[in-house]
Amino acid sequence: MSRRELVDRVTELLDSADVTVAVAESLTGGMVASALAEASGASKWFRGAVVAYASDVKHELLGVPPGPVVSAPAAEAMASGVRKLLGADVAVALTGAGGPDPQDSQPPGTVFFGLSDGDKSQIEHRYFDYRDPGRVCAEAVDEAFALLYAFLRTSAAARRD
C-alpha cells in the first residue's frame, strides 16, 4: 500500500471517530507531521507535532527518562508526553538511528515506535536494513502510518461514543 493510501486510511478513521492525533518525531524530522498536515480536514483532528531531534529535548520536553533515546522506553515516553502536551486523544512517536552511524549502541536502521491513547500504550521495534538515512526515514514513516492505522482500529479513543 502506498504512503498516500495509508495516510488516507488513517485520516478517514480519525475523522469518522472524531479523534485527535499528535506526533512526536526524532529521526524523521517532521515527515509524519507533514503528511498529516497535507491531508484534507487536518484542522479537525491534527493537534500538532514536536520534532525532538536532540536528546535533551526528548528528556526535557517529552519526559523521556534518563538513558538512551533510541529505545522502547523513549518511544513510549515520547508518545505519552506529546499526547498530554498537545491535548490529543492519540499519539504516535518515532525514535531511531537513521544512519549511517550507530546511535545509543543501536545499528543504523533501528527504529522504535510508540503509540498511546491514554488508556493503553503500544511499542514496536523495526529494523530497516539500510545505512542511508533517507531510506530509513521513508520506511519509518510508512511503518508509522501502518501502525497508527492498526492502533486506531483497536483504540478506546476511536471507539468512544
Report the CATH number that the domain containing residue 69 is assigned in CATH: 3.90.950.20
Q: How many structural domains is the chain composed of?
A: 1
Encoded amino acid at 116, one letter: S
Q: What is the pLDDT of residue 158?
A: 63
Quote the CA–CA distance of 117 and 115 in Å, as a whole number.
Answer: 7
Q: Model's pTM, two decimal places?
A: 0.96
Asked if the model's pLDDT at residue 36 lies above 50, the reply is yes
Quote the CA–CA distance of 45 and 23 in Å, as a whole number.
Answer: 12
The SS3 assignment for 103 reads strand
Looking at the DSSP bridge assignments, the partners of residue 113 are 94, 124
Supply the range of the domain harboring residue 131. Answer: 3-159
Beta strands in 11-161 (DSSP E): 21-25, 46-51, 90-97, 110-116, 121-127
**Each residue of 99-147: pLDDT tens digit?**
999 999 999 999 999 999 999 999 999 999 988 999 999 999 999 999 9
